Amino acid sequence: MEFTLSRYRNVTVLVLVLAAQLFLLAYQIKSRQDVRSIRVWAVTGVMPLTRLLDFLHDNTVGLIKGYSGLMEVKDKNKDLQAEVAKLKMENNFLRTELATADRAKVLALFPSRLPSKSIAAHVTGRGSDSSKVVFVDRGSNDGVSKNLPVVTPDGVVGRITGVYPDYSQVVLITDINFAAGVISQKHRVHGTLKGQGNSVCTVDYIRNEEKVEVGEWLFTSGDDRIFPKGLPLGQVKLARAGKMFFQEVQLVPSGLQLGLEEVLILLEGVHQPIPDHAPPSASAKLLPPPPAEGSDGPDSARVIRGGVATTDADQVLDRYRRIGAAQGHAYGSGGGTPNFAIDPPPPRPPAAPPAPETPPQ
């Protein structure tokens, strides 16, 4: 036997390789996975190494930064002593801020406030800048599946697009392939958020007639059937009338504002009401609003009333209805002859929605 194998070594190797390929192919088909097995194994194999490298990188950078910080503290020691009273007060304030900004602490508290069932995950690897994709250390073994939302207490981070046994791929909110349904906090305007491959996202399909304000918070609307309603997405940075019926709206995503270390994967999303006040940790810097541009095009004659598009015909009908009401005239019935030449009283403006309370920021 040994003689035969050594004699036909090349053929044997070829047969073994082919058999292995056939076996793997059969396994791939049988397992019905969306992701190729070779990729699963590669990710499983490479990720621990990446994690180790990340760990070493973070610690080395931390050590160097710590050392340089210490040196700076030493250099400025004399100045600090002169302002000790003031610094004590500031120090107390900063300690409080640091305590609330402690991500691990906040993340530990966040799930108890969140009605959705979630699992904490650590970001272990990042894709290229253009792809806006990260990997987290939770996979199918932890109950993670495709399309689950990934959030932080500050807002939405992204959604799961690939699942491996111990790791998952997350496409970030800023990726060009990301989209989610949104609703505005003040006027309850619906739209669709899309990543642009940079630090801001756009919100599409908001008509020029609808009201969106710069600085207004946008939340998930639940319309996309991926993200439960009520998760903060970010603040509007830019909102102006567009030329093709729809506004240009840009948003600064809040979920990525304070870095990306720990995240939550929502295993079972639960819709929440849109809060009347801004999320507590909002800190986006906003530009002043740009000069408004008027809309044009064939849509300009159209009026939206109560979310319903109307034409001049509806307005003329409304005018005559008001004339009839003002003169107590029942159309087509006996009684006095109406005077249609008199302009009717103006229509009553629609009742404004109750203004949301503005909490101290």
Partner 1 sequence: MPDVATLPADQERDKEHEVRKVLGEDPKAAANRIAVFRYICVAVFLYLLAGFWALQIRDPDYYAELAEKNYIRSQPLPAPRGRILDRHGRIIVDNHSSFSLYLSRDNLKEDHLDAMCSALDLDCADLQERLRRYDRTRAKYEAINIKSDLTSAELSFIEAHGGQDNFPEMEVIQTFRRIYPRGGALAHVIGYTGEISEGELDSADFVRYKRGDIIGKTGIERQYNDVLMGVDGQRRVLVNNRNKILKVIDHKGAAAGRDVRLTLDLDLQAVAELAMTDRKGAVVALDPRTGEILAMVSRPTYDPNRFVGRIRAKDWSEIRDNLDYPMMNRAIQAQFAPGSTFKPIIAMAALEEGIIDDRTTATCTGGAMFYDRFFKCNLRSGHGYVGLNRALVHSCNIFFHNIGMKISIDKVAEYAELAGLGKRTGIDLPAESEGTVPSRRWKMRTQRQRWFSGETVSVVIGQGALTVTPLQLAHSIGGLIRAGEWHKPHLMLDPPPSLDPPRKANWSPENTSKVVNGMFGVVNQGGTARGAAIAGIEFCGKTGTAQLASNDLIRSRKLGLQLSDNAWFVGFAPRVNPEIVVVALYEHGEHGDRAAPIVRDVVKAYFDSKHRRPQTLIAAAGAAR
**Identity of the residue, 29 or 89, whose beta carbon is nearer to partner 1 in the bound complex:** 29
**Identity of the residue, 147 or 198, whose beta carbon is nearer to partner 1 in the bound complex:** 147
Q: How far apart are CB 177 and partner 1 at their closest, in Å?
A: 5
Longest CA–CA separation in the chain, Å:
120
CB 33 within 8 A of CB 139: no
Q: 68: burial class by Cβ within 10 Å (0-12, 13-18, 19+)?
A: exposed
The rounded distance, in Å, linking the Cα atoms of 234 and 228 is 15
CB 42 within 8 A of CB 167: no
**Identity of the residue, 29 or 341, whose beta carbon is nearer to partner 1 in the bound complex:** 341
Q: How far apart are CB 145 and partner 1 at their closest, in Å?
A: 13
Distance of CA 259 to the CA centre of its chain: 14
- Cα dist. 143→117, 118, 167, 332 in Å? 11, 10, 11, 69
**Identity of the residue, 93 or 340, whose beta carbon is nearer to partner 1 in the bound complex:** 340
Q: How far apart are CB 306 and partner 1 at their closest, in Å?
A: 11
CB 212 within 8 A of CB 193: no
Q: How far apart are CB 319 and partner 1 at their closest, in Å?
A: 7
As a three-state string, the secondary structure of 64-80 is HHHHHHHHHHHHCHHHH
Q: How far apart are CB 93 and partner 1 at their closest, in Å?
A: 41
CA atoms 257, 262, 268, 271: torsion sign: negative
- The residues that touch partner 1, with contacts defined as CB under 8 A, are 146-147, 161, 176-177, 179-182, 190-192, 194, 204-205, 207, 221, 223-226, 244-246, 298-299, 301-302, 308-314, 316-317, 319-321, 324, 331-335, 337-341
The contacts of residue 275 (CB under 8 Å, 6+ apart) are: 185, 219, 230
Instruction: Write the DSSP symbol of residue 351.
Output: P
Q: How far apart are CB 292 and partner 1 at their closest, in Å?
A: 20
**Identity of the residue, 258 or 326, whose beta carbon is nearer to partner 1 in the bound complex:** 326
Q: How far apart are CB 351 and partner 1 at their closest, in Å?
A: 20
The contacts of residue 177 (CB under 8 Å, 6+ apart) are: 171, 195
**Identity of the residue, 37 or 147, whose beta carbon is nearer to partner 1 in the bound complex:** 147
The DSSP annotation for 304-335 comes to EETTEEE-HHHHHHHHHHHHHHHHT--TTSSS
**Identity of the residue, 165 or 338, whose beta carbon is nearer to partner 1 in the bound complex:** 338
Instruction: Write the DSSP symbol of residue 28.
Output: H
**Identity of the residue, 337 or 361, whose beta carbon is nearer to partner 1 in the bound complex:** 337
Q: How far apart are CB 342 and partner 1 at their closest, in Å?
A: 9
